[in-house]
Amino acid sequence: MDERQIRQRLESLVDRWLKASPAEKRILIQEKIRLEEMLEEERA
């Protein structure tokens, strides 16, 4: 996955967050952390 794809997925998390239940938000936070780590690796 390239940097552009990672950024698109991060942006989609915002829309999903607005509609998410508390349990779903925990999952979204984990996904956000994973995507940010992937973004850092892509930049390295």
pLDDT value of position 38: 95
The whole-model pTM stands at 0.80
The answer to whether 21 and 13 have CB atoms below 8 angstroms apart is: no
pLDDT value of position 19: 93
Rounded Cα gap, residues 21 and 6, in angstroms? 23
Phi, psi of 18 (to 5 degrees): -60, -25
- How does pLDDT run across 1-44, given as a tens digit for each residue? 899 999 999 999 998 999 999 999 999 999 999 999 999 998 88
The answer to whether 20 and 30 have CB atoms below 8 angstroms apart is: no
pLDDT value of position 1: 82
